[in-house]
Amino acid sequence: MGTKTLIKTQEALERSVRISGAEAVIRCLLAEGVDTIYGYPGGAIMPVYDELYKYQDKLHHVLTRHEQGATHSAQGYARVTGKVGVAIATSGPGATNLVTGIADAQIDSTPMVCITGQVPRHLLGSDAFQETDIVGISTPVTKWNYQITRAEEIPEVFAKAFYIAKSGRPGPVLIDITKNAQFDEFDFEYKKCTAIRSYKPAPKPAMFKIEEAAEAINEAKKPLIVWGQGIILGEAEEELKTLIEKAGIPAAWTILGLSALPTEHPLNVGMVGMHGNYGPNVLTNECDVLIALGMRFDDRVTGNLDTYAKQATVLHFEIDPAEVDKNVKADVVVLGDVKETLQLLLPLIKENAHQAWHEEFKKRDAIEFDKVIKNDLYPEKEGLTMGEVIKEINNASGGDAVIVSDVGQHQMIACRYAKFNHSKSNLTSGGLGTMGFALPAAIGAKMGAPEREVVAIIGDGSYQMTIQELGTIFQTKVPVKVVVLNNDFLGMVRQWQQLFFDKRYASTELTNPDFVTIAKGYHIEAKRVSKRNELASAVQEMIASKDAYFLEVCVEKEDNVFPMIPSGASVSDIRLS
């Protein structure tokens, strides 16, 4: 061994410290800037929890009431902060209980690192107590996963995990750590990961493709932008705003893209998709250039692919090559980080207004208001509508709140009518459609953005999927506001049964408990509203509260969400009733 090598080895030893694998886990998290983690202890992860106990002043652990709640809380934290969320659980059922949240994070591109304990290395494959192959189980729904069997692996694997989770198109990573690796000691040294051979998270933009896109946009007579969550993940909100204002292009959003542009912006024409707005859906099949920014042409957006935007030149700005031409064939593909590609595009774009084209959207807006919106927000019937509740929340919050919705009718109503002034304000389960997402996600969101009002909008069915997380609210005193829109039904399924199954309401009517009494059992202030003259004051009281607050609003049992594109139909076949 040469002198230089000996010197380097000595320097490394001086920088390193001999610690257990369990303590190394904590030090890795701190090195990555983690300040909050969500989890549930158990035997196989107990050494890590023992070390965590010693670092309580540096790393806040939130004890959720279920491991699924830990993943959704980590998602809410990640979505509102832009940082990597962290969840931790034991082996066996603790690990498998994370899978739903991991799958949700994968399809919605949420950066998350999940840590699971595992039986000792010598027991792997022996069906030991609480052993399960979580690496095999989670492989289809993770961006990367790895099983650590030696303590020495911990620093490098954690560094890779955080880099992979947050780079390029974000996603969840799972690290499974055998119990022996947590106990064993080694010389710890941490170095952040900045590159991995053969992993190219963001393709380098091709300038000639950007020039092709600019030419198509400049020549367009009826251009339409549809943006998705890629704008938020890429922090390209200002570039989007500059583009639409310079070129005068109407811009519509997917539900995960909502809030990237202020709701009241004059060029924001609303939501596309199954329950989106009438104008952008119908006019998708009339535009001559369709500009897709950071969106993946999900089936709920496109409807029948055989009839989707066939007349249009399609420009697809996308970071993930796997999404290109997967559902919709693009005429021009611009690969790369959307912030970078839009910055390269903007100098090539000519100023325009497209006033006649905008009038087409306004005409359809008027039709939708008369046939749908007026009835949702200003009903003449006696019973309360879900839309009225969202309208009162807008009035009380001024459009500054973070709205966390679950899955179902209430989700579509919240996305349609909530007002947003700031990005990273609409949190919901998009691609997976996970009932039970909102309550724990709202906890994570409020912890990630304590200065902001966080309001969870939940249906009575979804609420009961993770209702136990009220215990997390009670223990942590996190001041989230929870609104349950109670129609005593699994509302979205019932709507489909009404429209397509001759009103055969098979297993969708709910016999619900006393939600207010349950909330009060967790020492959370609670109120129930069933009359219109009570609604505004109840919402104002909820928003004004400095503590957690639960509000149940009893709404019409058989109200439906319109517009609606029936499954498999064309976006042109959108129904208003």
Question: Would residue 500 show up in a list of annotated catalytic residues for this protein?
Answer: no
CA distance 318 to 321: 7
For tokens 């249906």, the residue is: 459
The residues with which 147 forms a beta bridge, in sequence order, are 176
Q: What is the mean pLDDT of residues 117-130?
A: 96
Given 130, 343, 468, 540, the catalytic residue: 130
pLDDT at residue 491 is higher than 90? yes
Alpha carbon distances (Å) from 69 to 160, 204, 484, 490: 25, 37, 18, 21
- pLDDT per position as a tens digit, 55-114: 999 999 999 999 999 999 999 999 999 999 999 999 999 999 999 999 999 999 999 999
pLDDT at residue 416 is higher than 60? yes
Q: pLDDT-derived band of residue 16, with 50, 70 and 90 as boundaries?
A: confident
What confidence score (pLDDT) does residue 5 get? 45
> Is beta strand 17-20 parallel, antiparallel or unpaired with respect to 185-188?
antiparallel
* DSSP run (H or E) holding 550: strand 549-554
Alpha carbon distances (Å) from 38 to 52, 86, 387, 436, 539: 12, 6, 33, 16, 30
Residue 177's nearest CA partner among 190, 161, 192 is 161
Contact 182, 21 (CB under 8 A): yes
What confidence score (pLDDT) does residue 205 get? 97
Given 23, 51, 67, 469, the catalytic residue: 67
Question: Would residue 130 show up in a list of annotated catalytic residues for this protein?
Answer: yes
pLDDT at residue 400 is higher than 90? yes
What confidence score (pLDDT) does residue 12 get? 46
Question: Would residue 179 show up in a list of annotated catalytic residues for this protein?
Answer: yes
CA distance 17 to 185: 10
Given 143, 166, 179, 209, the catalytic residue: 179
pLDDT at residue 15 is higher than 90? no
Residue 456's nearest CA partner among 58, 49, 361, 467 is 467
Given 11, 129, 238, 520, the catalytic residue: 129
Can you say whether residue 325 is alpha, beta or left, with left for phi > 0 and alpha for psi between -120 and 50 degrees? left
Helix axes 409-417, 491-500, angle to 10 degrees: 100
Q: What is the mean pLDDT of residues 516-527?
A: 98
pLDDT at residue 541 is higher than 80? yes
Which two three-digit tokens encode residue 165? 């989770």
CA distance 290 to 288: 7
Mean pLDDT, the chain, whole residue set: 96
For tokens 């890779």, the residue is: 160
Torsion 21-27-31-34 (CA) sign:
positive
Contact 427, 404 (CB under 8 A): yes
**Three-state DSSP state, 467:** helix
Cis amide bond preceding 563, omega within 30? yes
pLDDT at residue 25 is higher than 70? yes
* DSSP run (H or E) holding 549: strand 549-554
Lowest mean pLDDT among 14-18, 493-497, 506-510, 535-539: 14-18
Q: What is the mean pLDDT of residues 473-488?
A: 98
Largest CA distance in the chain: 88
CA distance 48 to 42: 10
- pLDDT per position as a tens digit, 130-152: 999 999 999 999 999 999 999 99
- pLDDT per position as a tens digit, 285-322: 999 999 999 999 999 999 999 999 999 999 999 999 99
Q: pLDDT-derived band of residue 543, with 50, 70 and 90 as boundaries?
A: very high
**Rounded to two decimals, what is the model's pTM?**
0.95
Question: Would residue 67 show up in a list of annotated catalytic residues for this protein?
Answer: yes
DSSP 8-state symbol, 303: S
CA distance 117 to 326: 36
Question: Would residue 106 show up in a list of annotated catalytic residues for this protein?
Answer: no
Contacts of 270 (CB under 8 A, 6+ apart): 252, 253, 276, 277, 279, 280, 365
Can you say whether residue 502 is alpha, beta or left, with left for phi > 0 and alpha for psi between -120 and 50 degrees? left
- pLDDT per position as a tens digit, 208-263: 999 999 999 999 999 999 999 999 999 999 999 999 999 999 999 999 999 999 99
Q: How many CB atoms lie within 10 A of CB 221?
A: 11
